[in-house]
Amino acid sequence: MVDENTICVAAILGSTLNGEFEDVKLLNDLLVEKNKETGWDTPIHVDAASGGFIAPFLYPELEWDFRLPLVKSINVSGHKYGLVYAGIGWVIWRSKDDLPDELIFHINYLGADQPTFTLNFSKGSSQVIAQYYQLIRLGYEGYRNVMENCHENAMVLKRGLEKTGLFNIVSKDEGVPLVAFSLKDNKRHDEFDIAEMLRRFRWIVPAYTMPADAQHITVLRVVIREDFSRTLAESLVKDIEKVLHELDTLPVKVNAKLAMAEEEHSKNGTVKKTAIETQREITAYWKKFVSERKTNKNKIC
Ligand SMILES: *Cc1c(COP(=O)(O)O)cnc(C)c1O
């Protein structure tokens, strides 16, 4: 897919969907070959939003960063495993030459040259200070302890889910400390039912379908943060077991009703919709709704 117009190839260190680290080294090596063959100079940007504060502490040997010659820039979210509250992220370039000066906006009306690369201008500095504090307060050792703890708790959760015998684990052990899992059998009830019912136990666990070409897979995902203790992991497993039990016993009526409705539908010649079909229908409806709003001058969108 790389051609002479490719600005850069982006690799993801810690997929949003299942926490997986892409093989940046392999990508680098392939691209080195390609550049040699063609005379192009295609660089790599690494989106390490989640993984950038994980890999250096849990997998220091993993080469994904400026150790690879084609990696020219990296972004990482301070508000994820950087351990700062929401609203801060970082991007770093390999060298000053990799950030063209034309992209930097200079002002001097505050008394001295102020270069900025951001889109919005005035912003409080508290988050920068909070990040600075965390870095100094925790240090390499502290971050490593936190990340190791997150990883251990992810494994506690993973083992607990495996023990039920009802789930496939779709995240890997190496990666962002999270557990993504799906039901082995979702005919009777599915991942969306579990997510819905877990709310009654005060858990908000997202259920979603995987992207194109893997859309038939629905997963539940639990991201393990610093404050997600082992006790919480164990209690989540217990609550998931309760939910599964309840789904198996209580809502028989609901299932029966649904089955009846389905029968009615099939009598009338309508086919039961899958979750994806329903989702698509909703999206199409909203698109239509918004575009009508936009074209109709009398209404305000
Ligand atoms: C979270 C995330 C982002 C977005 O980063 P923000 O700092 O929250 O804007 C981008 N890419 C990946 C892979 C992420 O996990």
User: Domains (ranges, CATH) in the chain?
Assistant: 9-96+116-131 (3.40.640.10), 140-253 (3.90.1150.160), 254-292 (no CATH)
Q: Which of 42-46, 95-99, 256-260, 279-283 has the lowest mean pLDDT?
A: 256-260
Name the residue of 80, 91, 119 whose CB sits within 8 Å of the most ligand 1 atoms, as the mutation to test its pocket. 80
**Ligand 1 in contact with 22 (CB < 6 A)?**
no
Beta bridge partners of 75: 47, 91
**51 Cα: distance to centroid of ligand 1 (angstroms):** 10
Torsion of CA 257, 259, 261, 266, to 10 degrees: -170
**Ligand 1 in contact with 18 (CB < 6 A)?**
no
pLDDT confidence bin for 292, thresholds 50/70/90: confident
**Ligand 1 in contact with 195 (CB < 6 A)?**
no
pLDDT over threshold 80, residue 107: yes
Q: What is the pLDDT of residues 48-73, one digit of tens each?
A: 999 999 999 999 999 999 999 999 99
pLDDT over threshold 50, residue 301: no
**77 Cα: distance to centroid of ligand 1 (angstroms):** 6
- Ligand 1, atom 7: closest residue by C-alpha: 77
Q: What is the pLDDT of residues 237-270, one digit of tens each?
A: 999 999 999 998 865 545 555 656 655 565 655 5
- Ligand 1, atom 1: closest residue by C-alpha: 49
pLDDT over 90 for what percent of the chain?
Answer: 68
Beta bridge partners of 209: 218
pLDDT over threshold 50, residue 157: yes
The whole-model pTM stands at 0.80
Beta bridge partners of 73: 45, 93
Name the residue of 45, 77, 83, 176 whose CB sits within 8 Å of the most ligand 1 atoms, as the mutation to test its pocket. 77
**Ligand 1 in contact with 12 (CB < 6 A)?**
yes
- pLDDT given at position 261: 60
Q: Which of 4-13, 33-42, 183-192 has the lowest mean pLDDT?
A: 183-192
- Ligand 1, atom 8: closest residue by C-alpha: 77
- pLDDT given at position 77: 98
Query: What is the average per-residue pLDDT within 220-228?
Result: 96
